[in-house]
Amino acid sequence: MSQEVGRSNGGNSGAAPYSFGGEWQPSPIELGRRASRKAKSRRNGLIAALSSLLVLGTLAIVVVTSPGWKVLSATFFDWGYGFEVLPKILTGFFQSNVILTLIAATSVGILGLTIALIRTSRSPALTPFRILATGYVDAFRGIPMLLIILLVGFGIPALQIRGVTNDVFVLGIIAVIITYSAYVAEVIRSGILTVHPSQRAAARSLGLSNFQTLRYVVLPQALRRVTPPLLNDLVALIKDTGLVSILGVTDAIRAAQIETSRTFNYTPYVMAALVFLIVTIPLTRYTDRTLRKSIERQNAQGQA
Amino acid sequence: MSNPVLELVEVRKAFGAEVVLEDISIKVPEHTATVLIGASGSGKSTMLRCINLLELIDDGVIKLDGIDITDVSTNPDEIRRKLGMVFQSFNLFPHMKVLENIILAPMRVHGLGKEEATEKALELLTRFGLREKADQYPDRLSGGQQQRVAIIRSLAVEPRLLLLDEVTSALDPVLVNEVLSTVRDLKDHGMTMVLATHEMGFAKQVADEVCFLERGRIIEWGSPSEMLENPKDPRTQDFLKRVHEAGRL
Ligand SMILES: Nc1ncnc2c1ncn2[C@@H]1O[C@H](COP(=O)(O)OP(=O)(O)O)[C@@H](O)[C@H]1O
Ligand SMILES: [Mg+2]
């Protein structure tokens, strides 16, 4: 009920939806309703502010006045030291995590889409590829990524094959791509499967080929639907690029670790965490927004 | 006499053990409309889907302009280019604007340039009073408007034959008429069509031949006046009585 009121409130904030020749004036009843809605929302705002202040304030006081706080803040929140090491962390972040994310995200998109298309196709010629794709997805969704990174990062150099790189950065990217493609392929495949068969029938009955139907009708709808979960995977990918630090890639986490092991102060880790947050928080907010929009769009379609 | 546009000869279709169409034979001459009536589940949609090669038949032959289209060597995509189909549930593409829905097949299937396709699409939209909806997404349109756009979309490829499957069944009663008058308009302009409908009054207006289906068989067929006013078969009589009671005559 209160939601109902909230929404119509928002809708009325601009011009009135109905105006009969511009002569419409809100009736006294409507004016009364608006006034009491406004009063109510002011009261709600006040309650929210007061209760937040009370709860969060109490929490802050309890933490700061607790006996261990001094030691804790010196070891974790030594901001002077933190800003001293920030350039090193940022260098690692931009040179490793960001580059890794960009390269991996692009490759994963292409590979994941390909695997999804193979798995959803019904062409008999693709049968062996379908079997391979299914096996691939089953395997790499089931193995911890850390293991894949260790296997690829240390295992491949151990083979000492000529012409194959020993660069841990490249091997790290490959391991990330292998794992994430399996996830993304499944997300895209689920999107393809949710496009109603009647859409396919309509496209085919217009004379579109199987491929054209996929290209112009099925995929655009499928990808639109899976954009929110894909953005979620992107956030996870950004964080997981940190795992390649185990191979010795000097990313933000490794840079922080090097500092920490030197000084036994953990502020560099906190700084690294903040650096990740600066990128991931806007992205998660954006993800939430696209999710909300896509739900609204689907609801609108359901009503039509 | 020249070939009928469409001819079905002893067509049979089964889904697993369930026989859905049996011994179906009809002829649809050029510029005529054949109307399929029958209870829900009698096989009308399946018959239209078979004609459109969306379903494979299990026996018999379907000919388009005298050519067997059920031959295994025919390319179904090529056949469907010559046929238009409109569904009960519209099936407009929700991610495309009205205009984009209409020009998709002319551009991608028939190789028209964007300008030419757009021009023709706008002409059709204007003709059916939907010109101002060209840049809207389908979910902004009423059901009747969506269905008319779906009809225009299937007309845009200048089909040899139009298949219409209960195009008004998903609509509010007040919206039914605008769609029916669109179909009547097409008939008056000489479009050859096969349509399934529950609207008996409409069937009487547009049909050259009416076929009554029951459990996948054509029980009785004839001119609309014979079929709808003096059906001979007791099963047809019974069906019409029930439709009448439901207030659709
Ligand atoms: N894809 C399918 N698989 C199995 N049975 C089907 C399928 N499509 C239709 N049928 C069955 O075929 C029969 C005829 O259905 P349909 O052609 O849709 O009838 P109508 O359009 O006259 O209502 C029904 O019994 C239905 O359950
Ligand atoms: Mg049907």
Rg from Cα positions in chain A = 27
Q: Percentage of chain A with pLDDT > 70?
A: 91
Q: Is the pLDDT at A6 greater than 70, yes or no? A: no
Cβ–Cβ gap A301/B94 under 8 Å: yes
Counting from 1 in the atom list of ligand 1, the atom nearest the Cα of B55 is: 1
Q: Is the pLDDT at A82 greater than 60, yes or no? A: yes
Q: How confident is the model at residue A71 (pLDDT cuts 50, 70, 90)?
A: confident
Residue B137 and residue A115: Cα distance in Å, rounded? 31
Q: Does B108 contact chain A (CB < 8 Å)?
A: yes
Q: How confident is the model at residue A248 (pLDDT cuts 50, 70, 90)?
A: confident
Is A203 exposed, middle or buried (CB count within 10 Å of its CB: 0-12, 13-18, 19+)? buried
Q: A85-293: which CATH architecture? A: Orthogonal Bundle (1.10)
Task: Please give the sequence-ordered ranges of beta strands (E in DSSP) within chain B, or none if there are none.
Answer: 6-15, 18-28, 33-37, 59-64, 67-68, 83-86, 161-165, 193-196, 209-214, 217-222
Q: What is the pLDDT of residue A206?
A: 95
Higher local confidence (pLDDT), A300 or A224 = A224
Give the one of A207, A220, A297 whose C-beta lies nearest to B109's C-beta. A207
**In chain B, where are the structural domains located?**
28-245
Mean pLDDT of A166-183: 94
Which of B20, B57, B243 gets mutated to test ligand 1 (max ligand atoms within 8 A of its CB)?
B20
Q: How confident is the model at residue A5 (pLDDT cuts 50, 70, 90)?
A: very low
User: Which residues on chain A place their C-beta less than 8 Å from a C-beta of chain B?
Assistant: 198-199, 201-209, 212, 216-217, 220-221, 224, 297, 300-301, 303-304
Q: Is the pLDDT at A210 greater than 60, yes or no? A: yes
Q: What is the pLDDT of residue A21?
A: 62
Rg from Cα positions in chain B = 18
In chain B, which residue's Cα lies nearest the Cα of A225? B95
Cβ–Cβ gap A207/B54 under 8 Å: no
List Cα–Cα distances, B36 to A8, A83, B32, B211, B237, in angstroms: 47, 79, 13, 5, 15
Residue B51 and residue B193: Cα distance in Å, rounded? 12
Residue B47 CA to ligand 2 center (angstroms) comes to: 9
Q: Does B101 contact chain A (CB < 8 Å)?
A: no
Residue A128 and residue A76: Cα distance in Å, rounded? 54
* 3-state helix/strand/coil string of A43-110: HHHHHHHHHHHHHHHHHHHHHHHCCCHHHHHHHHCCHHHHHHHHHHHHHHHHHHHHHHHHHHHHHHHH
In tens digits, chain B (249 residues) has pLDDT values of 578 999 999 999 999 999 999 999 999 999 999 999 999 999 999 999 999 999 999 999 999 999 999 999 999 999 999 999 999 998 999 999 999 999 999 999 999 999 999 999 999 999 999 999 999 999 999 999 999 999 999 999 999 999 999 999 888 888 899 999 999 999 999 999 999 999 898 999 999 999 999 999 999 999 999 999 999 999 999 999 998 888 755
Q: What is the pLDDT of residue A191?
A: 96
Q: Phi/psi class of residue B34: alpha, beta or left (left: φ > 0; alpha: ψ in -120 to 50)?
A: beta
Q: How far is A220 from chain B (nearest CA, A)?
A: 7
Q: Which two tokens stand for residue B34?
A: 């054949």
CB atoms within 10 A of CB A87: 10
Query: What are the two backbone dihedrals, phi and then psi, of residue B33, each rounded to the nearest 5 degrees?
Result: -120, 130
Q: Which residues of B178-206 are buried (b: 16+ CB within 10 A; e: fewer)?
A: bbbebbeebbeeebbbbbbbbbbebbbbb
Bridge partners, residue B130, by sequence: none
Cβ–Cβ gap B77/A220 under 8 Å: no
Q: Is the pLDDT at A7 greater than 70, yes or no? A: no
Q: What is the pLDDT of residue A296?
A: 81
Q: Is the pLDDT at A180 greater than 90, yes or no? A: yes
Return all residues near A113 (Cβ < 8 A) that are at least 6 apart.
A184, A185, A188
**Span B28-245: which CATH code?**
3.40.50.300
**In chain A, where are the structural domains located?**
85-293
Query: Which residues make up the environment of ion ligand 2, defined by Cβ < 5 Å?
Result: B 45
Cβ–Cβ gap A216/B94 under 8 Å: no
If you average pLDDT over every residue of chain A, what do you get? 88
Q: What is the pTM of this model?
A: 0.83
Nearest to A205 by CA among B67, B159, B132, B99: B159
Residue B33 and residue B190: Cα distance in Å, rounded? 9
